[in-house]
Every structure is written in structure tokens, then in C-alpha cells.
Amino acid sequence: MDLLDKNTIVELLSNHEPPCLSLYQTTHRRHPENQQDPIRFGNLVKELEASLLQKYPADEIEPLLEPFLALADDRDFWNHTLDGLAVLATRQLFRVYKLQRPVAELTIVADTFHTKPLLRVLQSADRYQILGLSRQEIRLFEGNRNALDEIEPAPSVPRTITEALGDELSEPHLTVASYGGVTGTQHGGSGGMQPGMHHGHGGKAAEVDGDAERFFRAVDQAVLERHSQPSALPLLLAALPQHHHLFHQFSRNPFLLRENIDINPDALSLEELRQRAWQVIEPHYLARRAALVEQFGNAMSQNLGHEHLEPVAKAVVAGRVATLLLEDGREIPGQIDAASGAILPADLERPEIDDALDDLAALTLKMGGAVVIMPPEHMPTQTGLAAIYRY
């Protein structure tokens, strides 16, 4: 399964040899609702085939559809779906993304990928990640206010202390109980544990604490490089209290929040973990939202912001937009010329494709700006958009 992060859009928005196939579908997490999902997927693949036959010979179509057909027959995949599905492919590329939000059903064959539903998911302001940490292993989760799911760590992220330390592990079979009090739970001042200082038990306990330090450092670095930096999502630590201080002491992850969940996630259901996480995340989410609204107000007062489509579109293609706020669920029919910023008429037969706001989002990201999807009741404008300029 492919990870959905900001690098996803960079890859998908780059130039690809056509045809580019895009398929979106709402899926279901549980039986019996999910029984119809592979059937519906098969029908959508037939729609892709019909579109391809209008322009390409049959011998070119077969290899394009092969991975779609293999996915349709993957029973394990369909037994573990989420709320939505995006599948994008060319002759050289095949990407499958499980989504934590439903998406409108859609198939498109074009010269470029249709990324607008992915943009809506990626840029929503309520997303976060959780690092579940114990003395022996880690787990990773990603969620929003309504859903939380465990995700597979990237290949270079050590899942266990043995993976991280290998032959350097002092006592591979020591348990958490063996770790005793050597956890760095002292807080503040010179009484806090410093790297290389081991108190209380000496000998094996000092070795175990050294193992923990090296494990936590390895995890922190790998999670930062492979998850936090690509996603730019806030990271919440879920661990027993004795692990918090030690991990925070060594962490260099700027996305790691100061607040923690004071329990090993193994002791909670996903829903219980989501509830605890959202209690921590919600104040940050609200503060970020309020700060963006205030920032837009300040920008407007200095002529460094705008709320209307035409001037914002021209500013986007000129690289002037630092942050673009978009109203969740809002659509403005039309397309934006990527060279001039001119507003082009929409194809009224495909209104779900020709949404000028989603074009704005894609262009803003390509120009190095940030995009944030905001709830309608918290948007600072009535136009569906609010742009904060760099200059």
C-alpha cells in the first residue's frame, strides 16, 4: 500500500506519459457492506477500459489494466479497506491509496492524473499521526477527528529494538520489567537524566538504558525522515509515562507535540486511542485554524491577501501565494490556465472534474505554497477561498 503524503502530489503532478488512469471509489470497513466494493471496483475498471478503447488499441490496453484486475482479485485487500480508495496508473506507475474519507465515484482517462480528491484529503487541517512506543517496539497510526488507523512504518523505520540495534543490543531478551526505574522519568534541571548517565541499578540496568537511548534515537530519526517530514503532520507520542521524558529528551522531531498519551496503545482499542488523541489534537487544530484566520486578516490589511478567484489565480501562477485557505465542500465551476491564471469555462457535463478551487490547490502546491481545507463555518470569507501572499 502506498503512503499518502505531500510527496504523493509532487509525484502525481509531475509529467507522465499518457494515458493517465484515475479511479476513485467509496469503500467500506466492515462486513457485509464491503462485499459490494470489489464488484463495484470491477465495474469501474470496465469504465476505464471503455474510455481507453476510444483512443488506444487493445494490445496497449491489456498491460495498463493488468494491475487493476489483480487488485480486484485480491481478497485480503478488500477485507481491509477504509472509507475511500484512489488508484492511479500509467504504463510505468501503479499507486493505490486507502483513504480515511469517502470520495465520489469517478474514473478518468486523460493526459494527466486527476488528483483533486487526494488534495482534499491531504490538505484537511485535522490530520495527525501517533507514535506508539514501548521498550521493545513501535506502532504508527494516522487519523483525523473521525477516524484512526494503524499504518505500516516505512521500510527504513525500525519496528523493534532488535531491528534498530541488532548486534549492538546488550540484552536482547530483557523485558520491560527488567528495565526497572532506569527510564529518565526525572524532570527538570540537573536532576533530569542526561545522555550517558544511568542511575540506580548499575550494570545491566545501565546497559538496558543505553539500549533504550539508542533505540529511541533511531526511531526518532527514522520517523522524522520517513513520516513526519513527508506528511508535515503533528506527531503525538503514546507510551507509558516512564518513556516520555527519555524520548522527548533525545527527539529532534519538530512535529512532535509536547503533550502525550500516557498509556501504551496496545491497551486501547483504535476508537479509544482516537478519542484520547483528539482530546490532545483538537486544541492545536483550533489554534492553528484561528492563527490562519488572523494571518489572513493581517494580510488583507496590508494588501497581501485576497478573497476573489480571478486575482488569486493570477497570484498563484506568479508564485505569490504562500498559503491558500479553501472551504471544505465548496466548488466553483471552471478551470485555471496554469500559464496565465485565466479562468476557463467548465465542462458542464463533468462538473466534478472542472472545479477551479481544486485547480488553485494543485497549482499552489506546485509553486511551493501551502493549502489548508477549512470548515465553512470557520472560513474568513464568503467566497470559498482566502489567499495569503508572500509579497
pLDDT in tens, 246-261: 999 999 999 999 999 9
Q: 91, 122, 153 — which closes off a domain?
A: 122
Average pLDDT over residues 218-241: 96
C-alpha cell of residue 184: 529518565
Q: Is residue 382 part of a domain?
A: yes
Rounded CA separation 327/322 (Å): 17
H or E element that contains 82: none
pLDDT digits 0-9 by tens, 286-295: 999 999 999 9
* Domain, as residue range, for 336: 303-389
Q: Is residue 280 part of a domain?
A: yes
Nearest residue to 364 via CA among 9, 4, 5: 9
Rounded CA separation 335/345 (Å): 6
Q: Is residue 1 part of a domain?
A: no
Q: Is residue 298 part of a domain?
A: no
Average pLDDT over residues 165-189: 49
Quickly tell me which residue has 509529467 as its cell: 15
Q: pTM for the whole thing?
A: 0.79
| Sequence letter at residue 165 | L
CATH number where 317 lies: 3.30.1330.30
Average pLDDT over residues 65-86: 96
Please tell me the total number of residues recorded for the chain in this structure.
Answer: 391
97 and 196 both lie in a single domain: no
pLDDT digits 0-9 by tens, 337-372: 999 999 998 775 665 567 899 889 989 988 989 999
Domain count, the chain: 3
Q: Count CB atoms within 10 A of the CB of residue 311.
A: 13
pLDDT band at 171 (very low <50, low <70, confident <90, very high): low
pLDDT band at 266 (very low <50, low <70, confident <90, very high): very high
